[in-house]
Structure 1
Amino acid sequence: MKPQAPTPAAAELSCEVCGQMPEPPKTRLTVANVAVMLPIELLVHALVVQTHLPYLAKVLVLTLTATVLVIWVAEPSAARILRRWLHAPALRHRRRLGAAPALWRARTVLRDQPGSLKKITRSLALLDTNILSIHVHPVRGGVMDEFVLSAPGELTERQLLEALKDGGGRHPNVWPTTALAMADGQTKALSLAARIAASPQELPLAVAELLSARILPEDTETARQTAETNDAGTLLKIPTAWHGPITFYRPGEPFTPAESARAHRLAELAEILAHGPAGPVGTKEAAAAADS
């Protein structure tokens, strides 16, 4: 016997792991059970009452028959026949979530000439995609534009990539993101600079957070292999006098000159604070005094 094809409700709401449906609201479940049980109860009562059995026997037959029919017929029938109605609130909520705008971070290289941004904006607008923020990084052969996009929830990564290419973008990349991406690079760099001012030893972690990169250990086989096989521009080394050179790795997303400059400025700030007259301890005391 061939298995039945799942209904739209089951296809949308069933668990991908166990295949079970979520628990429907108690009110709807009660109404569905009553709607299915009532005709069965009336039919059983009508048949049993007409018999000439003793009163206690009638009660026993009614109880057992109704219980068996409810367990084996009513509840499964209600769950199957009224499935869409039972799970209508969850289905509406799922569709609202699916239609809600999604945030994406996108990068692509454009020609550094008038009209390039207008063309890619028009291409994104055809997909009802709105540009919430844009940062321009000068790179070799043009400019790298970094966008935060608000797109319809059903839009896929491939559709966004095709729109960026149709708009004249080269080497496009997109990533799902959150509202935190709305904080521009300068604001984020200033926040991390304040963090380094309180503790210069936080430099490696601060730069890794700024660049969304991974810190590579020095003088290890892993670092050597990564340096040999990395894509162009995905390694960034920052020299420091007190911490030694720090290497950062971001696969598939080369560092821009602006990002490199920000990272080096943070390293310079850490150097000044670490080797200044007050040193790290004095810096912490100054930060504590400012907080108080």
Structure 2
Amino acid sequence: MRQPQVHALACEVCGRLPHPRRTRLALAKLGAVLPVELALHALVIRLELPFLATVSVLAIVATILVIWVVEPGAMRYLARWLHAPELRHRRRLDSAERLWRIRVRLDNKPGRLELLAKQLGDRRANILTVHVHHLENGVLDELVVSTPAELAPQRLVHAITRAGGAVIGIWPASALTLVDGQTRALGLAARVASDPAELPLAIAELLGAQYIPHADPDRTPGGTVLEITPHNDSAGMTFIRSGEPFTPAEVARAHRLADLALLATHRG
């Protein structure tokens, strides 16, 4: 596997590398500064300068060399050793299995999902969760799969095509994706029941969408738009999600949350 480079550890925002561990940083500075200090002291002592001149030369020259030459050079040339623990951790992360969230449209016929599982299995993709959304002209399966790090998304697309499916989208996922959807929905329902004003943000979190308080068709960013109109709010709420259409089940869950908020408001 290709070894990660030090620049891969740089912050995406500021471009700086993480601060090295204190022990490694101290050893690097000591190894870089000590030879320079010894050489400088030997040179000044050999010149037999007066005591005050000796102290001044050592202080000024050593400070300049350390700040402008030695320390930057050591940080540059010893960067791989300084950040070796972080590089090992990055290498373990790069070699770990990846998680993908896949939405695929299949014909509602026996054996289609089994064929899809076989095609994915042939490429060492392990299906972790499956949610089936029934549509008028088929089914929309939402899967979370783990794959080897070197498996490219294009191979997943090829597997789905071989199984007779149509790819709606493939997105990188995290361990949070494995949280049971029903459990998460119940948690959001409890949040709305205790405070109905949380409804728009709760629906946005449930759908993984963006809530647009004041929708303007001319200024709304591109994507799939969903409008929810509670019975007590004629203005309604607008949500948008780019690259991923809302499924009927997701729309139904959003409406149920809106009904729960209305019920909680009347009881309050």
TM-score (norm. length: structure 2) = 0.70
User: Residues 192 and 46 (structure 1 numbering): CA distance in 2 closer, same or farther, change over 3 Å?
Assistant: closer
8 Å CA contact 1:110–1:116 kept in 2: the answer is yes
Provide, for residues 233-254 of structure 1, a one-character-per-residue CA deviation record: whole Å limited to 9, x for no partner: x566677655459576555433
Q: Output one character per residue of 1:34-72: Cα deviation in whole Å (capped at 9) or x when no partner.
A: 212222333333334344444554444444443343334
Mapped partners of 1:142, 1:256: distance in 2 = 13
Aligned residue in 2 for 1:91: 87
Higher mean displacement: 257-266 or 97-106:
257-266
Instruction: List gaps (5 residues or longer) in structure 1.
Output: 1-7, 285-292
1:25 maps to 2:49: no
Contact 2:6 2:83 in 1 (8 A): no
Quote the residue 1:222 is aligned against: 217
- Could you tell me which residue of structure 1 aligns to residue 139 of structure 2? 143
Q: Deviations over 1:192-242 (max 9, x none)?
A: 555666677876666555444567889x8639x99xxx99xx566677655
- Structure (1 or 2) with the larger CA radius of gyration: 1
How much has 1:164 moved relative to structure 2?
A: 3.5
The reply to whether residue 182 of structure 1 matches residue 173 of structure 2 is no
Are 1:280 and 2:260 an aligned pair? Answer: no
Aligned pair partner of 1:78 in 74, 92, 95: 74
| 1: CA distance, partners of 2:157 / 2:78 | 41
Which residue is 1:67 aligned to?
63
Instruction: Flag the 1:52–1:93 CA change in 2: closer, same or farther, 3 A.
Output: same
Deviation at 1:170, TM superposition (A): 0.2
The whole-number CA distance in structure 2 between the counterparts of 1:77 and 1:237 is 59
Looking at structure 2, the residues matched to 199 and 65 of structure 1 have their Cα atoms a distance apart, in angstroms, of 67
Identity of aligned residues (%): 50
Unaligned runs of 5+ in 2: none
Please name the residue that 1:4 is paired with: none
Describe how 1:1-292 pairs up with structure 2 within 5 A: 9-125=5-121, 128-152=124-148, 160-191=156-187, 209-213=205-209, 222=217, 242-243=232-233, 250-251=240-241, 252-262=243-253, 273=263, 280-281=266-267, 284=268
Deviation at 1:146, TM superposition (A): 0.8
Counterpart secondary structure, 1:222: coil
Give the TM-score normalised by structure 1.
0.65
SS in 2 for 1:21: coil
Number of corresponding residues: 264
The change in CA–CA distance for 1:90 and 1:260 in structure 2 (over 3 A counts) is closer
Partner amino acid, structure 1, of 2:266: P
